[in-house]
Amino acid sequence: MKSLELIIERVILSSRWLLVVFYIGLVLALAVYAVSFGYKFLKIASGVFDLDEAEMILAMLGLIDAALVASLIVMVMISGYENFVSRFDEAGEADNEVSFLGKLDSGSLKIKVASSIVAISSIHLLQVFLNADKYADGKIMWLTPPRLRRLRRHARFPREADERDVEE
Protein backbone atom coordinates (compact mmCIF):
# COMPACT_ATOMS: atom_id res chain seq x y z
CA MET A 1 0.00 0.00 0.00
CA LYS A 2 2.89 2.35 0.77
CA SER A 3 4.32 1.82 -2.73
CA LEU A 4 0.98 2.83 -4.29
CA GLU A 5 0.98 5.97 -2.18
CA LEU A 6 4.52 6.82 -3.35
CA ILE A 7 3.55 6.31 -7.00
CA ILE A 8 0.51 8.58 -6.63
CA GLU A 9 2.62 11.25 -4.94
CA ARG A 10 5.25 11.08 -7.71
CA VAL A 11 2.58 11.34 -10.40
CA ILE A 12 0.98 14.33 -8.70
CA LEU A 13 4.32 16.10 -8.20
CA SER A 14 5.42 15.33 -11.76
CA SER A 15 2.16 16.70 -13.17
CA ARG A 16 3.37 20.22 -12.38
CA TRP A 17 5.53 19.96 -15.52
CA LEU A 18 2.33 20.02 -17.58
CA LEU A 19 2.10 23.70 -16.66
CA VAL A 20 5.13 24.36 -18.88
CA VAL A 21 2.85 23.93 -21.91
CA PHE A 22 0.71 26.81 -20.64
CA TYR A 23 3.73 29.03 -20.00
CA ILE A 24 5.11 28.36 -23.49
CA GLY A 25 1.67 29.21 -24.84
CA LEU A 26 1.80 32.49 -22.92
CA VAL A 27 5.23 33.24 -24.41
CA LEU A 28 3.83 32.70 -27.89
CA ALA A 29 0.75 34.79 -27.07
CA LEU A 30 3.07 37.55 -25.84
CA ALA A 31 4.99 37.42 -29.13
CA VAL A 32 1.75 37.74 -31.10
CA TYR A 33 0.68 40.60 -28.83
CA ALA A 34 4.04 42.32 -29.43
CA VAL A 35 3.42 42.17 -33.18
CA SER A 36 -0.04 43.65 -32.60
CA PHE A 37 1.53 46.40 -30.45
CA GLY A 38 4.06 47.16 -33.19
CA TYR A 39 1.26 47.43 -35.75
CA LYS A 40 -0.70 49.81 -33.48
CA PHE A 41 2.42 51.90 -32.91
CA LEU A 42 3.20 52.15 -36.63
CA LYS A 43 -0.41 53.09 -37.34
CA ILE A 44 -0.22 55.88 -34.74
CA ALA A 45 3.21 57.04 -35.91
CA SER A 46 2.08 57.22 -39.55
CA GLY A 47 -0.96 59.31 -38.61
CA VAL A 48 0.66 61.52 -36.00
CA PHE A 49 0.01 64.70 -38.00
CA ASP A 50 -3.57 63.70 -38.85
CA LEU A 51 -4.78 62.91 -35.34
CA ASP A 52 -6.26 65.58 -33.12
CA GLU A 53 -5.41 65.76 -29.43
CA ALA A 54 -8.25 63.54 -28.22
CA GLU A 55 -7.47 60.85 -30.80
CA MET A 56 -3.78 60.97 -29.88
CA ILE A 57 -4.60 60.57 -26.19
CA LEU A 58 -6.82 57.59 -26.99
CA ALA A 59 -4.07 56.06 -29.11
CA MET A 60 -1.50 56.51 -26.31
CA LEU A 61 -3.92 55.00 -23.79
CA GLY A 62 -4.23 52.00 -26.10
CA LEU A 63 -0.44 51.59 -26.11
CA ILE A 64 -0.26 51.96 -22.32
CA ASP A 65 -3.03 49.39 -21.96
CA ALA A 66 -1.12 46.98 -24.20
CA ALA A 67 2.06 47.45 -22.14
CA LEU A 68 0.17 46.74 -18.91
CA VAL A 69 -1.40 43.58 -20.36
CA ALA A 70 2.02 42.39 -21.59
CA SER A 71 3.53 43.06 -18.15
CA LEU A 72 0.71 41.10 -16.56
CA ILE A 73 1.43 38.13 -18.83
CA VAL A 74 5.13 38.23 -17.94
CA MET A 75 4.36 38.43 -14.21
CA VAL A 76 2.07 35.42 -14.40
CA MET A 77 4.56 33.41 -16.47
CA ILE A 78 7.57 34.07 -14.26
CA SER A 79 5.82 33.76 -10.94
CA GLY A 80 3.80 30.74 -11.96
CA TYR A 81 6.85 28.89 -13.22
CA GLU A 82 8.91 29.83 -10.16
CA ASN A 83 6.16 28.90 -7.68
CA PHE A 84 4.72 25.77 -9.25
CA VAL A 85 7.25 24.20 -11.63
CA SER A 86 10.91 24.96 -10.89
CA ARG A 87 13.27 27.71 -9.80
CA PHE A 88 15.15 29.62 -12.48
CA ASP A 89 18.79 28.52 -12.49
CA GLU A 90 19.99 31.87 -13.89
CA ALA A 91 18.55 33.84 -10.99
CA GLY A 92 21.76 33.70 -8.96
CA GLU A 93 24.29 34.30 -11.72
CA ALA A 94 25.98 37.70 -11.45
CA ASP A 95 26.14 38.42 -15.19
CA ASN A 96 22.45 37.71 -15.76
CA GLU A 97 21.03 38.95 -12.46
CA VAL A 98 17.29 39.46 -12.43
CA SER A 99 16.60 40.88 -9.00
CA PHE A 100 12.93 40.00 -8.69
CA LEU A 101 13.22 36.27 -9.41
CA GLY A 102 12.28 34.22 -6.40
CA LYS A 103 10.74 37.20 -4.61
CA LEU A 104 7.31 37.12 -6.24
CA ASP A 105 5.29 34.62 -4.23
CA SER A 106 1.65 33.82 -4.96
CA GLY A 107 0.41 36.37 -2.40
CA SER A 108 2.36 39.27 -3.84
CA LEU A 109 1.48 38.06 -7.35
CA LYS A 110 -2.21 38.33 -6.48
CA ILE A 111 -1.70 41.90 -5.36
CA LYS A 112 0.28 42.85 -8.47
CA VAL A 113 -2.24 41.17 -10.78
CA ALA A 114 -5.13 42.93 -9.07
CA SER A 115 -3.35 46.29 -9.33
CA SER A 116 -2.69 45.70 -13.01
CA ILE A 117 -6.32 44.75 -13.59
CA VAL A 118 -7.50 47.92 -11.87
CA ALA A 119 -5.10 50.01 -13.98
CA ILE A 120 -6.21 48.31 -17.21
CA SER A 121 -9.86 48.71 -16.22
CA SER A 122 -9.29 52.39 -15.44
CA ILE A 123 -7.71 52.94 -18.84
CA HIS A 124 -10.68 51.28 -20.53
CA LEU A 125 -13.08 53.50 -18.59
CA LEU A 126 -11.09 56.60 -19.52
CA GLN A 127 -11.24 55.54 -23.17
CA VAL A 128 -15.01 55.17 -22.87
CA PHE A 129 -15.33 58.65 -21.34
CA LEU A 130 -13.17 60.19 -24.06
CA ASN A 131 -15.38 58.47 -26.67
CA ALA A 132 -18.63 59.09 -24.80
CA ASP A 133 -20.42 60.18 -27.98
CA LYS A 134 -19.94 56.66 -29.42
CA TYR A 135 -21.56 54.89 -26.44
CA ALA A 136 -25.14 54.76 -25.26
CA ASP A 137 -25.74 56.42 -21.89
CA GLY A 138 -26.91 53.11 -20.44
CA LYS A 139 -23.66 51.37 -21.37
CA ILE A 140 -21.56 54.11 -19.75
CA MET A 141 -23.75 53.92 -16.65
CA TRP A 142 -23.16 50.15 -16.33
CA LEU A 143 -19.40 50.45 -16.92
CA THR A 144 -18.76 53.17 -14.35
CA PRO A 145 -19.89 51.99 -10.85
CA PRO A 146 -17.85 48.76 -10.59
CA ARG A 147 -14.65 50.50 -11.66
CA LEU A 148 -15.22 53.46 -9.38
CA ARG A 149 -15.87 51.08 -6.47
CA ARG A 150 -12.52 49.34 -7.12
CA LEU A 151 -10.70 52.68 -7.44
CA ARG A 152 -12.20 53.93 -4.17
CA ARG A 153 -11.25 50.66 -2.46
CA HIS A 154 -7.67 50.97 -3.70
CA ALA A 155 -7.41 54.58 -2.56
CA ARG A 156 -8.52 53.72 0.99
CA PHE A 157 -7.00 50.28 1.57
CA PRO A 158 -4.56 49.40 -1.23
CA ARG A 159 -3.35 46.00 0.02
CA GLU A 160 -6.75 44.71 1.19
CA ALA A 161 -8.42 46.03 -1.97
CA ASP A 162 -5.99 44.11 -4.17
CA GLU A 163 -6.78 40.88 -2.37
CA ARG A 164 -10.55 41.47 -2.71
CA ASP A 165 -10.24 42.33 -6.43
CA VAL A 166 -8.55 39.00 -7.12
CA GLU A 167 -11.29 37.15 -5.26
CA GLU A 168 -14.11 38.87 -7.24
What pLDDT digit, counting tens, does each position of 38-91 carry?
999 999 999 888 888 878 888 888 899 899 889 888 888 888 888 778 877 765
Distance CA 168, CA 157 (A): 16
Which residue type does 72 have?
L
Continuous segment of H or E residues that includes residue 147: helix 137-156
Which residue type does 53 have?
E
Rg over alpha carbons for the chain, rounded to the nearest Å, is 21
Distance CA 109, CA 144 (A): 26
The answer to whether residues 68 and 116 touch, using CB atoms and an 8 Å cutoff, is: yes
- Tell me whether residue 151 is exposed, middle or buried, using C-beta atoms within 10 angstroms of its C-beta: 0 to 12, 13 to 18, 19 or more: middle
Query: Could you read off the pLDDT of 90-130 as tens digits, one per residue?
Result: 655 555 556 666 666 667 777 777 777 777 777 777 777 66
pTM of the model: 0.67
